[in-house]
Amino acid sequence: MTSTTATKEDSRTAALRAAVKELMPRAKSDLAQLVSFKSVADPRQFPVEECRQAAQWVADAFAAEGLTDAGLHETPDGSMAVVARSKAPAGAPTVMLYCHYDVQPPLDDAAWKTPVWTLTERDGRWYGRGAADCKGNIVMHLTALRALRKVLGDAFPVGLTLVSEGSEEQGTGGLEEFVPGNLELLRADTLLICDCGNFEVGVPTFTQTLRGNVNVVVTVETLAGSMHSGMFGGPAPDALAAMIQLLSTLRDAHGNTTVSGLPNSQVWEGHDYPVEQFRSDAGVLDGVDLLGSGKVADMLWARPAVTVLGMDVPPVVGSAAAIQPKTRARLNLRIPPGIKPDQALKALTAHLEANTPWHAKVTVETEATGSPFVGSTSGPARQAMSEAMEAAYGRPATTEGQGGSIPLCNVFADTYPQSEIMLMGVEEPKCLIHAPNESVDPSEIENMALSVALFLASYAE
């Protein structure tokens, strides 16, 4: 690189930074508008019009920035996806900007310290349902596009496909089912899934992996019916005792998940999750140990983790002096990238069958499985985005995982196997997404908007 190009790039970065900063009051008023729509995609809780108005607002806002064919598309679950596009200049790649306009319900209105549907500033943060998840990312995208137009002129350097989902928080899969039938409408070389966030404010972070999962229901049976614990207790095989013994084989003394045949010593290579921060985030009681022999990030993002979600046992109040003849437990096994759901299901089923004591009758039913996900780690888009984030935040980008899953990411990966997919956004942990008192840090909107603007400008080259 010659010194002239270096200076030119620096001045473009400076111009985009100034443009984004200048656009922040507009971002705030746009976000206030968006938050005022009670766009919970459940007609039993809120009128459908709230979602329709939010969708139309999003379509109009991106149309105003020069995207064409901005419209609402009905998806199989009845929700509307907003799609708007801008054709790629010859030879330039196309980038998908993903976000969703539906939100979680307020949950507990009384627990909110500010009005749920009115964007309210407090101590430098902006409060309101959806302020971060995911309406903050919608205005982040808008701000990036506005800054680009201000600095580079009306024609975007890359093709754009804006996709704003309408039922993400419901898990009803409308967009997931819509994607395969609308390959060309949504096609992009790089997908920015902006429904995540940095590890903490000011630390640019890619969400690199998502865990997959396997859910099963295991049933243990030992007797024809319940029997008096005094008259029969001792030799009579107790189904509940058998289940307790069986479930205890799924963890070792340190709390590591120990499903025979599944590795459990993987290591997370990216950002570490400090112990004290995790203890506080998870509300771990004083003096109680964290589980596992790895670091927090290993246990959370790199290794399998089993949880007993439910169990059929008599509640304490009302329980009788009786031996249980039958019991069920519902298990959730989270699996990191590198383990396939089929492999995990097979291993878990075999483990449960092999470790049931006393020849008790055991059956394992599969409830659901989902694949783990790995975002782009090394392509040209990833490279450009790393540089953009570093320029925006003044420090190199890092990586974290996410314990949960986003099935849509797997659909995109299967549909566009050649495309690079990256997960990021304005939803850092202080946002308290899905909880009462959700908020967003405006500096994250500003820095992420600058990152996306810088990325779109440089990726084209």
Q: Per rule CB under 5 A, is residue 30 in the interface with Zn ion?
A: no
Q: How far is the CB of 340 from Zn ion (least distance, A)?
A: 26
Q: Identify the active-site residue in 30, 168, 438, 446.
A: 168
The owner of tokens 């450009």 is 384
Q: Per rule CB under 5 A, is residue 195 in the interface with Zn ion?
A: yes
Helix axes of 3-36 and 442-459: crossing angle, nearest 10 degrees = 130
Strand partners, 248: none
Q: How far is the CB of 228 from Zn ion (least distance, A)?
A: 53
Strand 373-374 and strand 190-194: the pairing is unpaired
Note whether 331 and 216 are within 8 A (CB).
yes
Tell me, yes or no, if 168 is annotated catalytic: yes
What are the Cα distances from residue 124, in Å, to 141, 198, 433, 443?
21, 18, 17, 9
Q: How far is the CB of 455 from Zn ion (least distance, A)?
A: 21
Q: Compare residues 195 and 441 and give the one whose CB is closer to Zn ion.
A: 195
Residue range at the interface with Zn ion (CB under 5 A); choices 87-95, 192-200, 254-262, 357-365: 192-200
Judged by DSSP in three states, 372 sits in: coil
DSSP 289: P
- Which residues inside 381-400 make contact with Zn ion, applying CB under 5 A? none
**Cα gap 84→211, rounded to integer Å:** 30
Residue range at the interface with Zn ion (CB under 5 A); choices 1-9, 190-198, 242-250, 258-266: 190-198
**Cα gap 62→70, rounded to integer Å:** 7
Q: Which of 116, 134, 151, 431 binds Zn ion (CB under 5 A)?
A: 134
Residue range at the interface with Zn ion (CB under 5 A); choices 65-73, 131-139, 144-152, 293-301: 131-139
CA 329 to chain centre: 27
Q: How far is the CB of 26 from Zn ion (least distance, A)?
A: 23
Tell me, yes or no, if 461 is annotated catalytic: no
Q: Per rule CB under 5 A, is residue 133 in the interface with Zn ion?
A: yes
Q: Identify the active-site residue in 30, 50, 65, 102.
A: 102
The alpha helices in 221-300, defined as continuous H runs, are: 229-232, 239-248, 275-282, 296-297
- Which residues inside 340-379 make contact with Zn ion, applying CB under 5 A? none
Q: Compare residues 50 and 195 and give the one whose CB is closer to Zn ion.
A: 195
Query: What is the contact surface with Zn ion in residues (CB under 5 A)?
Result: 133-134, 195
Give the catalytic positions in this structure. Answer: 102, 168
